[in-house]
Amino acid sequence: MLTAILTGLGLSMDAVAVSISSGMSVTPLRPAHALKMALSFGAFQAVMPVLGYACGLTVRDWMSAVDHWIAFAFLGWIGGHMLVTAWQAAPDTEITSNPFSLKTLLALSLATSIDAWAVGLTFSLLEIPLLMAVAIIGTITFLLCYPAVWLGARLGAVASCSARCIGGLFLIGIGVKILIEHLT
């Protein structure tokens, strides 16, 4: 359960960062904007691990000897990528399209949940209970993204970089934890 909670926190940070940035881009911000974004991000973060899990089931038997290394590599790569993109992002980058339009919102939801697919794959390799994990991940994402949209309307671009950095560090930490557990 702790792994699912920490994974949910780590995975949601990209979506939180986008929520903050999106909140900064729309005036006036309405409750419907925040609700639409939080629901979309939460749903995608819950569905993508299921898809990754399904892919993982097809290869689980022959990969069990190296699953912890795969989990470590996936989570380390995803977390590292989040850190690199956070450091490279220009702090004054502006969003030019409406992030709350259906087309843009779906694209953002998919983009912020691709790492959740990889996590679902590792969940299948480690035989983590899927339903509990996706419920936790989706709920955490929703609960963090809703206020993040409002926070974005009040803060500056610095918060989005911090959120991505925290998310990347969480995922790297989870990868290290998995590797240590399987090696000891």
In tens, the pLDDT along 3-25 reads 788 888 988 988 888 888 788 77
- Reference 20, options 137, 116, 139, 163; nearest CA is 163
Judged by DSSP in three states, 28 sits in coil
| The token pair that represents 64 in the structure block | 């069990």
| The token pair that represents 159 in the structure block | 């918060």
- The pLDDT value recorded for residue 157 is 44
Report the C-alpha gap between 98 and 105 in whole angstroms: 9
Contact between 179 and 71 under an 8 Å Cβ cutoff? The reply is: yes
Contact between 179 and 88 under an 8 Å Cβ cutoff? The reply is: no
Tell which wins on pLDDT, 151 or 141.
Answer: 141
Q: What is the pTM of this model?
A: 0.69
Main-chain phi, psi angles of 157, to 5 degrees: -70, -15
pLDDT band at 29 (very low <50, low <70, confident <90, very high): confident
- The pLDDT value recorded for residue 99 is 80
Kindly report the number of other CB atoms within 10 A of residue 107's CB atom. Answer: 13
In tens, the pLDDT along 115-147 reads 888 888 888 877 778 899 999 999 999 999 999
